[in-house]
Amino acid sequence: MKIVINKCFGGFGLSYEAIMLYAKLKKFKLYAFTEKRDKEGKINFNIFEKYNPKKHKTSFIHYSKKPLCKNGKYVKLSYFSEHDIDRTDNCLIRAVEQLGEKANGDYAKLKIIEIPDGINYEISEYDGIESIEECHNSWS
């Protein structure tokens, strides 16, 4: 079984390209957006605009399964986060394999680990660096 983990300080995260490829492989549409800024560059945390990788230089990208409303708001029930993706998801694994280092989020260095099928495992983490450990029974 293949599992995607993060191997550097920071934490698991996917790049814009990896998230959009994942959605394409899963056959659903994702809309990317970011907080709108005024002319002085101040962020308005209540209004959003469509994310454009050529225009916006930010790591704070939000994703939704529905487009933004005309008033720049998004539908909270449609919010999508890469942290909700199962780390053994075949489409996630394909996206990471296909993009290589370009799949890494800003504070991530993703790695695919292979363990035997049927192993009861958990992902442990210290300061964002993850490892896979076999689950053990414990009683107290």
Find the distance separating the first CA and the last CA of the chain, reported in whole Å.
31
DSSP, res 77: G
132 near 5, Cβ under 8 Å? yes
User: Is this prediction's pTM over 0.75?
Assistant: yes
The whole-number pLDDT of residue 74 equals 67
Burial (CB count <10 Å: 0-12, 13-18, 19+), residue 114: exposed
**Assigned token pair, 101:** 């280092």
Query: What are the sequence ranges of the domains in the chain?
Result: 2-134
Which tokens sit at 136?
A: 């053990």
Per-state percent for the chain, helix, strand, coil, to nearest 5: 20, 30, 45
How far is the C-alpha of 119 from the C-alpha of 85, rounded, in Å? 20
Provide the 3-class DSSP secondary structure of residue 76.
Answer: helix
What tokens does 56 get? 């916006």
Q: Is residue 72 very low, low, confident or very high in pLDDT (cuts 50, 70, 90)?
A: confident
Q: Which has the higher per-residue pLDDT, 40 or 132?
A: 132
The residue-averaged pLDDT of 85-104 equals: 98
Please state, rounded to an integer, the average pLDDT across all residues of the chain.
Answer: 91
Q: Give the Cα separation of 103 and 92 in Å (integer).
A: 10
The structure tokens listed for 32 are 């990317």
- Confidence class of residue 6 from pLDDT cuts 50, 70 and 90? very high
Does the pLDDT value for residue 42 go beyond 80? Answer: yes
